[in-house]
Chain A
């Protein structure tokens, strides 16, 4: 099967390797986060304007208050869905900070986040350990690597529902699927990182009679760290998605449950649905950014991170 052969030695060429978007000078020149914030602000304001235009075109004046609250049953259905399709960002914000919604939005989000985090930690540790084992024992690598690699070609997240139906315990199922989707990229990338060591550096270590342990702690593991963090960033989002997918299959708690229920109950819950969607994205982005922050602290020596980029 030559199709998959290239994976044997050099698993995807660029994608797994650390992506450097910041080291080119332009990011420093433009002052890091400022342009990003500016573009984001323009997008939000544009959305608000678009929403108010859409609202005023499609909803007649006498129904405007009712269409927003969703409480007035006399509002025609086609006017009620206007808010569901294109809500005002300002009202979504208000919904997020309304204490009455704290349980369904933030507490539910924390439940999801807890499951994702537990699984993320377990999957990260297991994946790292397995990569070390594969690097040392060829039999382990030959026996398991094909599955780890094939698992990157199949939609592993689809196992979320299966785990839930087998375990009948949403907390454990959440953690299990999060661990599962974390473990694979971490193993593949760590292994690639451990092998990315400069042969000259290895020769140098050998020439000073460094022990096997020293070669790992001083050379191989530091070399693997950038690859490891790249995998952890991918896994951060994936573990949140995995936790939510479990919740779609009839769990009782979690942000996925809020999304499903508010989606089901229709326009009256439009803003709660959008609030839940925002919370779900915040979970994914926050975990991703947290990993990126730790990466910046741990990998200070990496050239592309020296000036607070990436």
Chain B
């Protein structure tokens, strides 16, 4: 198959499906098939209109509130998670007792954490940042631990043989080998972070995409609610792209970035 045709199929097929769905939606197919009324499910053009109309408010909500909460919380949670992982690598006793608990925090639903955060930290941004930090902490602990711990034994022996200090082993061996794992955790974390920020805003908030979404649903302004969803999706893609860029800058040597396979 020629390269252009391959590229056409790779990009053209998904794009065609997307446009086709939008056209069918606008033509009322989903409304007819699911028995929905106009006020239950807005049309794509109505959503586009709402986006064009309120893009300034949505952008402000997305960047200054929800996006900031997600990024600040992720940085905080990831930093604490990495430190804990390093601690678990250094202290075997902690590894046995605390690592499984840290990993189990993955399964605590955020809807249980968000109301507690509001109780302690109020309705403002700190409570959202705390929830995000808590959610992103667990994947980082598990991944960073794997990265720091699964160092090649021969490399460790080599470092020993040249009398490398503990600090040198960490900086020159453990840290570089952990970075790919750390970025994997950050990529999972950034999506979790956005979910965390949005869902905490559902419980109570002053501003943000989550509270905009839930307020507009309660007053049945569906096009604007959908516009908030679109904005949240765009924010998710943008933040994910940022993490990927950082990854590429930090570990350009990693196998996943090599062109030839």
Asked whether A285 lies within 8 Å of B108 as measured between CB atoms, the reply is yes
| A 9-39 binary contact with B (CB < 8 Å = 1; else 0) | 0101111000101001011011000011011
Q: Tell yes or no: B202 within 8 A of A by CB.
A: yes
Asked whether B237 lies within 8 Å of A150 as measured between CB atoms, the reply is yes
Residues of B within 8 A of A278 (CB): 112
Asked whether A36 lies within 8 Å of B109 as measured between CB atoms, the reply is no
Q: Given A14-B184, A142-B9, A143-B13, decide whether A161 and B233 contact each other with a Cβ distance below 8 A.
A: no
Q: Which residue of B lies closest to A264 (CB)?
A: B204
With both chains docked as a complex, state the minimum distance between the C-beta of A274 and any C-beta of chain B, in angstroms.
8
Asked whether B14 lies within 8 Å of A15 as measured between CB atoms, the reply is no
With both chains docked as a complex, state the minimum distance between the C-beta of A310 and any C-beta of chain B, in angstroms.
9
Q: Tell yes or no: A249 within 8 A of B by CB.
A: yes
Residues of B within 8 A of A105 (CB): none
Q: Tell yes or no: A244 within 8 A of B by CB.
A: yes
Residues of A within 8 A of B36 (CB): 166
Q: Tell yes or no: A277 within 8 A of B by CB.
A: yes
With both chains docked as a complex, state the minimum distance between the C-beta of A32 and any C-beta of chain B, in angstroms.
9
Residues of B within 8 A of A240 (CB): 109, 111
Q: Tell yes or no: B73 within 8 A of A by CB.
A: no
Q: Which residue of B lies closest to A142 (CB)?
A: B13
Q: Tell yes or no: A45 within 8 A of B by CB.
A: no
Bound form: Cα–Cα A236–B108 in Å: 11
A68-76, A127-135, A151-159: which lies at the B interface?
Answer: A151-159
Q: Which residue of A lies closest to B245 (CB)?
A: A3
Residues of A within 8 A of B41 (CB): 166
Partner of B232, one of A10, A13, A27, A155: A155
Bound form: Cα–Cα A237–B181 in Å: 23
Bound form: Cα–Cα A184–B228 in Å: 21
Bound form: Cα–Cα A259–B97 in Å: 31
Bound form: Cα–Cα A192–B104 in Å: 24
| A 145-171 binary contact with B (CB < 8 Å = 1; else 0) | 011001011110111011011111000
Q: Tell yes or no: A223 within 8 A of B by CB.
A: no
Bound form: Cα–Cα A24–B146 in Å: 11
Asked whether A15 lies within 8 Å of B139 as measured between CB atoms, the reply is yes
Asked whether A277 lies within 8 Å of B202 as measured between CB atoms, the reply is no
Q: Tell yes or no: A253 within 8 A of B by CB.
A: no
Bound form: Cα–Cα A147–B11 in Å: 12
Q: Which residue of A lies closest to B225 (CB)?
A: A162
Bound form: Cα–Cα A27–B99 in Å: 10
Asked whether A158 lies within 8 Å of B96 as measured between CB atoms, the reply is no
Asked whether B202 lies within 8 Å of A161 as measured between CB atoms, the reply is yes
Residues of B within 8 A of A273 (CB): 115
Q: Tell yes or no: B198 within 8 A of A by CB.
A: yes
Residues of chain B at interface, number, CB under 8 A: 75
Q: Which residue of B lies closest to A156 (CB)?
A: B195
Q: Which residue of B lies closest to A29 (CB)?
A: B96
Partner of B120, one of A4, A85, A165: A85
With both chains docked as a complex, state the minimum distance between the C-beta of A287 and any C-beta of chain B, in angstroms.
8
Asked whether B119 lies within 8 Å of A84 as measured between CB atoms, the reply is yes
Q: Given A4-B244, A248-B214, decide whether A162 and B229 contact each other with a Cβ distance below 8 A.
A: yes
Q: Tell yes or no: A47 within 8 A of B by CB.
A: no
Q: Given A26-B92, A277-B115, decide whether A158 and B229 contact each other with a Cβ distance below 8 A.
A: yes
Partner of B181, one of A14, A166, A168: A14
Which of A4, A36, A164 neighbours the largest number of chain B CB atoms within 10 Å of its CB?
A: A36
| A 265-285 binary contact with B (CB < 8 Å = 1; else 0) | 000000001000110110111
Partner of A12, one of B13, B116, B188, B232: B188
Residues of A within 8 A of B58 (CB): none
Q: Which residue of A lies closest to B109 (CB)?
A: A284
Q: Given A14-B181, A263-B118, A277-B116, decide whether A21 and B103 contact each other with a Cβ distance below 8 A.
A: yes
Q: Tell yes or no: A288 within 8 A of B by CB.
A: yes
Asked whether A285 lies within 8 Å of B96 as measured between CB atoms, the reply is no
Asked whether B13 lies within 8 Å of A10 as measured between CB atoms, the reply is no
Asked whether B112 lies within 8 Å of A277 as measured between CB atoms, the reply is yes
Partner of A280, one of B14, B101, B111, B244: B111
Q: For residues 1 through 60 of chain B, which have their beta carbon under 8 Å from a beta carbon of chain A?
A: 9-10, 13-14, 16-18, 36, 40-41
Asked whether A284 lies within 8 Å of B108 as measured between CB atoms, the reply is yes
Q: Tell yes or no: A49 within 8 A of B by CB.
A: no
Asked whether A281 lies within 8 Å of B226 as measured between CB atoms, the reply is no
Partner of B14, one of A30, A40, A146: A146
Q: Tell yes or no: A139 within 8 A of B by CB.
A: yes
Bound form: Cα–Cα A4–B40 in Å: 34
18 example contacts (A-B, Cβ-Cβ < 8 A) are as follows A3-B244, A13-B256, A15-B143, A39-B101, A85-B119, A142-B13, A154-B233, A158-B210, A159-B229, A161-B214, A162-B229, A166-B36, A236-B107, A241-B110, A245-B202, A250-B218, A285-B108, A288-B107
4 tightest Cβ-Cβ pairs between the two chains A and B: A284-B109, A35-B97, A288-B107, A154-B236
State the B residues within 8 Å of A (CB): 9-10, 13-14, 16-18, 36, 40-41, 92, 95-101, 103-104, 106-112, 115-116, 118-120, 139, 142-143, 146, 149, 180-181, 184-185, 187-188, 190-191, 194-195, 198-199, 202-204, 209-210, 213-214, 217-218, 220, 222, 225-226, 228-229, 232-233, 236-237, 240-241, 244-245, 248, 256-257
